[in-house]
């Protein structure tokens, strides 16, 4: 089977990470979590106490930052100036800051090249918000994963609990709604399905079923 680019976009908590990983594993593809780039930048922005809306300060950070993604089977590592900061990426504060910096056009422009380089050889599953619309508009197989907000909040709450983080499900739902609103209403590369994306609703499906639907469609497209 030809090695193509598969894009999986969608809102927070729709199951993109688990599904993208499983699809990549099944096909022997690289899995790339692009949200990790925005989260990596968010860690630095918070460390330096910078306002995520301050373009001048953001530009100064981006100019000198050596930010790279190291795709892996299970997770995408983020290296900042030689230091592995992967363990710091998944907190509610970093989620919100990542969403805020991701609305800045200069940040998106800066991260575009890094993402496209990772896809240069094909054979990769890219997870994000604008993979099918902006970063890889020519991708052969595009998916947009959705699920009811209450189901997404419940899943994300469970994930955070497993990590020992303690927000309530209501707080998770509120944060998620705010982040989705930021991500889908920003002027540049808003979260939305590409016109040629296949919509998959995971509200009533388990992970295995979603992966099955996606693999089935990929095989139809690529064969």
Asked if 99 touches ligand DC (CB under 6 A), the answer is: yes
Closest approach, Cβ 44 to ligand DC, in A, equals 14
Helix (H) or strand (E) segment spanning residue 69: strand 67-70
Asked if 142 touches ligand DC (CB under 6 A), the answer is: no
Closest approach, Cβ 199 to ligand DC, in A, equals 18
Distances (CA, A) of 44 to 40, 77, 92, 178: 7, 15, 15, 22
Best CA proximity match to 119, nearest among 132, 104, 103? 132
Among 15, 71, 128, 132, binds ligand DC (CB under 6 A): 128
For residues 37-74, b (16+ Cβ closer than 10 Å) or e, as one string?
A: bbbbbbbbbbeeebebeeeeebeebbeeeebbbebeee
- Which residue's CB is nearer to ligand DC, number 130 or number 211? 130
Residues 10-39 that bind ligand DC (CB under 6 A): 12, 34-35, 38-39
Residues 29-88 that bind ligand DC (CB under 6 A): 34-35, 38-39
- Which residue's CB is nearer to ligand DC, number 124 or number 130? 130
- Which residue's CB is nearer to ligand DC, number 43 or number 131? 131
Dihedrals phi, psi of 82, to nearest 5 degrees: 85, -10
Backbone angle region of 28, left / alpha / beta, with phi > 0 → left and psi within -120 to 50 → alpha: left
What is the rounded distance in angstroms from the CA atom of residue 86 to the CA atom of residue 163?
14
- DSSP-derived letter for residue 140 is S
- Which residue's CB is nearer to ligand DC, number 42 or number 211? 42
Closest approach, Cβ 94 to ligand DC, in A, equals 8
Among 86, 102, 133, 202, binds ligand DC (CB under 6 A): 102
* Structure tokens belonging to residue 216: 């089935």
Q: Which residues bind ligand DC (CB under 6 A)?
A: 12, 34-35, 38-39, 95, 98-99, 102, 128-131, 179, 183
């Amino acid at each position: 089977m030809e090695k193509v680019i598969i894009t999986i976009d969608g809102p927070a908590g729709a199951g993109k990470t688990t599904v993208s990983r499983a699809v990549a594993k099944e096909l022997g593809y690289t899995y790339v979590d692009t949200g990790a780039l925005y989260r990596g930048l968010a860690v630095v922005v918070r460390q330096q106490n910078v306002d995520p809306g301050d373009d001048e300060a953001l530009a100064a950070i981006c100019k000198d930052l050596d930010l790279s993604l190291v795709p892996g089977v299970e997770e995408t590592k983020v290296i900042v100036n030689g230091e592995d900061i992967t363990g710091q990426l998944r907190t509610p504060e970093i989620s919100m800051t990542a969403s805020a910096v991701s609305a800045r056009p200069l940040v998106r422009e800066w991260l575009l090249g890094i993402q496209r380089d990772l896809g240069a050889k094909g054979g990769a599953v890219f997870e994000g918000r604008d993979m099918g619309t902006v970063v890889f508009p020519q991708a052969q197989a595009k998916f947009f994963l959705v699920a009811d907000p209450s189901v997404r909040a419940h899943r994300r709450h469970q994930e955070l609990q497993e990590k020992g983080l303690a927000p309530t499900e209501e707080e998770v739902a509120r944060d998620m709604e705010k982040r989705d609103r930021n991500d889908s209403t920003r002027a540049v590369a808003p979260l939305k399905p590409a016109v040629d994306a296949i919509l998959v609703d995971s509200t009533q499906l388990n992970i295995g079923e979603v992966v099955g639907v996606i693999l089935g469609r990929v095989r139809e497209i690529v064969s």
